[in-house]
């Protein structure tokens, strides 16, 4: 597969299951919340659509408030399936935005993020997995999830990498706003 750069016009951000009762068990949770928050704020600056899922919210709670408050028109897709693609209306919502590229962040890297990634790749989308904005309960599972997604064809990136790639150029008001987010 030829190398691909992400393009704003074709891209959306998907936040998977960053929920109240699951987050305390996640490795590096403070860093995760910080990087996800940076991505969400960057997506707003750049005008990307944002999609949020919650795995069994009755059992795992809602999206962490610190993160949920950053999401315009917060309306999570609830699911029992591990893949976000199993959430009612999720696939339709992506198609309505005519997305070709998806940026994934959230938890857990080796379960819900990986299964979502595999399903999106199967649908023909290019998937960019933000390595420092996903995690699992253990570092080993985080790493194995990343490796599996890369082997399947996902592009592994960092928070700063994806934001600057979406930005494309310096010297704009958007650049100043993104720069402030990553400092």
The CA distance from 31 to 128, in Å, is 19
The CA distance from 86 to 142, in Å, is 22
- The answer to whether 122 is a known catalytic residue is no
DSSP 47-96: T--EEEEEESHHHH-SB-HHHHTTSTT--PEEESSSSGGGSTTHHHHHHH
b/e burial code for range 37-47 (CB count within 10 A of at least 16 → b): bbbbbbbbbbe
- The answer to whether 79 is a known catalytic residue is yes
Enter the tokens of residue 152. 């399947």
**Given the residues 38, 85, 105, 112, the one annotated as active site:** 112
**Given the residues 38, 79, 85, 119, the one annotated as active site:** 79
**Given the residues 17, 85, 105, 117, the one annotated as active site:** 17
Residues whose CB is less than 8 angstroms from the CB of residue 161 and which lie 6 or more positions away in sequence, other chains included: none
Residues identified as active-site? 17, 79, 112
């Amino acid at each position: 597969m030829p190398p691909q750069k992400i393009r704003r016009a074709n891209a959306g951000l998907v936040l998977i299951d960053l929920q109240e009762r699951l987050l305390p068990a996640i490795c590096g949770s403070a860093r995760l919340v910080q990087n996800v928050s940076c991505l969400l704020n960057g997506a707003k600056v750049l005008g990307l659509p944002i999609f949020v899922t919650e795995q069994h919210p009755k059992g795992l709670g809602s999206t962490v408030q610190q993160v949920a408050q950053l999401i315009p028109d917060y309306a999570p897709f609830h699911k029992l399936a591990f893949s976000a693609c199993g959430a009612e209306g999720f696939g339709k919502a992506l198609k309505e935005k005519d997305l070709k590229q998806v940026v994934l962040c959230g938890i857990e890297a080796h379960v819900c993020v990986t299964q979502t990634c595999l399903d999106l790749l199967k649908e023909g989308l290019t998937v960019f997995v933000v390595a420092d904005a996903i995690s699992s309960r253990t570092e080993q599972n985080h790493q194995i999830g990343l490796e599996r997604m890369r082997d399947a064809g996902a592009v592994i990136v960092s928070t700063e990498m994806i934001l600057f790639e979406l930005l494309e150029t310096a010297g704009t008001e958007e650049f100043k706003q993104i720069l402030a987010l990553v400092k």
